[in-house]
Chain A
């Protein structure tokens, strides 16, 4: 059912495209500048009494997660364009299974997102936070685990969208709520109960918590629980994406 040569090809192609596209890189550098450097340092100095660690240190895993969210979704959404005029059309008429296309796209989108999340590491010296190098390295597989289901979910949504106009809606109603309700910018533990409840059903919550666990060793949920939650989310999202790609109208 899965065709590894095709999956490898889709992955390789995405890597070449990433290396030639500077706008994506620019976007993933702009977000940490806005959120981590400007907002983080600004808010952090306005409210110095924030928890035990500086606010920028608290925010850092959240902004890594933000880049993962954007990277995954943008890469998934690009299939709409690809379906009309691009390479996806070529792949849909090629002798490979639809499930391989969905899997290849999810794996490559997750890799691109992981690289974009890794770019946030460059800002650590600027915000006065130090994380040992090996912990950052350990963060990469965790980041892939977060980005993979997000890309698959993005593919599922993209398969229902016929135009790019939907992207604004998606950003407002999916990406931003997932970001704000994940404990990325404020701790969910001290939030009102209804926000906490929403956070509990948000898969990003476990992603952000996993990153905090890897980088700082502090976490709200047990490690096994976060990893299983993300694994479950992955299984559900990739099944959905495969089903959506396999349907022929």
Chain B
């Protein structure tokens, strides 16, 4: 069986900073895999390498049997991504966003039309298909991104904190959708989260800090091995109680920058 995701001795350095340090693990097809760690642990860097946006410094990473560095187009064909920051085109309607997505994934028009209807109904946005994405609430935008990530039926879906900032209703809905998909299509889910409650629902979790793998296993097993009450205790035990300096979100910086740019233009 070819693993859905395989990482071996992966290293990524940015100048003198080692963001990912000799990381190795594998994810089985159909698995719901949680990728946990404090801010700056190396989660996003690993996901960016897996999604072919970054090149590894050394080591190997592959998705669905394709090498992320040597065979990026094959990897991209096999994956879907729901980014932490929104990546919709807010000036386009829900349907147009999906239409263009289908075009760059080389889906023929009839298939595109059929899948648009399916995924929009799946995330309950079919009634709003001709509304411009800008008018959507945060939860609706997220659902539209989920629909888009699923539209080309990826083998592996990466979700970078998919439920952050969402209300409990939307969060619940997204989890239900993931469950349905796993039952129907054996899609592999690779997600990062800071919510221990969500992490406990994963088949297996990897706990990461300073670019190194600290623990890997099924949540109940990890709790037992570490003689802890719950996963949160395992997590804090491994990564410490010290606070991490959170980097200012890209979005906040650039929103300010955009205002400056508009003033200039």
Interface residues of chain A, those whose CB is within 8 Å of chain B, are 5-6, 8-9, 12-13, 16-17, 20-21, 23, 27, 70, 74, 77, 81, 84-87, 89-97, 163-165, 167-168, 171, 248-249
Bound complex: CA of A8 vs CA of B101, how far in Å? 12
**Which A residues are CB-close (under 8 A) to B55?**
248-249
Cβ–Cβ contact B87 & A85, under 8 A? yes
**Which A residues are CB-close (under 8 A) to B111?**
none
- Determine the residue in chain A with the shortest Cβ distance to B96: A16
**Which B residues are CB-close (under 8 A) to A171?**
264
Asked whether any CB of chain A lies closer than 8 Å to the CB of B250, the reply is yes
Asked whether any CB of chain A lies closer than 8 Å to the CB of B167, the reply is no
Cβ–Cβ contact A93 & B52, under 8 A? yes
Q: Which of B33-71 contact A (CB under 8 A)?
A: 51-55
Cβ–Cβ contact A164 & B254, under 8 A? yes
Cβ–Cβ contact B87 & A87, under 8 A? yes
**Which A residues are CB-close (under 8 A) to B132?**
20
- Determine the residue in chain A with the shortest Cβ distance to B76: A95
Contact flags B123-160 to A (C-beta < 8 A → 1, else 0): 00000000010000000000000001000000000000
Cβ–Cβ contact A89 & B89, under 8 A? no
Bound complex: CA of A80 vs CA of B134, how far in Å? 19
Query: Whole-angstrom distance from the CB of A169 to the nearest CB of chain B?
Result: 10
- Determine the residue in chain A with the shortest Cβ distance to B255: A85
Given contacts A94-B104, A95-B76, A16 and B91 within 8 Å (CB-CB): yes
**Which A residues are CB-close (under 8 A) to B54?**
248-249
Cβ–Cβ contact B265 & A84, under 8 A? no
Bound complex: CA of A81 vs CA of B259, how far in Å? 11
**Which A residues are CB-close (under 8 A) to B261?**
77, 164, 167
Cβ–Cβ contact A16 & B260, under 8 A? no
**Which A residues are CB-close (under 8 A) to B73?**
95-97
Cβ–Cβ contact B257 & A163, under 8 A? yes
- Taking A9-B103, A89-B83 as given, write out 5 further A-B residue pairs in contact, using a Cβ cutoff of 8 Å, ordered by the A residue number: A5-B103, A6-B104, A85-B86, A167-B264, A249-B55
Cβ–Cβ contact B104 & A84, under 8 A? no
Query: Whole-angstrom distance from the CB of A164 to the nearest CB of chain B?
Result: 4
